[in-house]
Structure formats: C-alpha cells, structure tokens
C-alpha cells in the first residue's frame, strides 16, 4: 500500500495522529524536505 502524509510548510510536530500511525506502520519512508 502507498500512503502519503503531507506536512505542508509546518513542523514535523504538527503531523496528525492518523499520519503518525501511518508512518509508524511503514516499512519504507521517503522524506522530501522543503528548504
């Protein structure tokens, strides 16, 4: 399954509870940081 969790321009602390759950269950993560 592919899941996308968006943070917008916010802090990683602003991720939703559901987003945290999806991230926690993931086998592979890819982070594209905005600079």
Domain boundaries along the sequence of the chain: 1-35
What is the per-residue pLDDT across 2-35, written as a single tens digit (0 to 9) for each? 999 988 777 888 899 999 999 999 999 998 877 6
Rounded distance between C-alpha atoms, residue 28 and residue 35, angstroms: 22
pTM, full prediction: 0.69
Tokens of 18: 């559901």
Rounded distance between C-alpha atoms, residue 13 and residue 15, angstroms: 6
Whether 1 shows a pLDDT value over 80: the answer reads: yes
Measure Cα distances from 17 to 5, 23, 30, 31, 34 in Å: 11, 10, 19, 18, 22
pLDDT at 35: 64
pLDDT at 18: 95
């Amino acid at each position: 399954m592919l899941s996308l969790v968006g943070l917008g321009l916010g802090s990683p602390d602003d991720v939703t509870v559901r987003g945290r759950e999806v991230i926690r269950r993931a086998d592979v993560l890819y982070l594209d940081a905005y600079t």
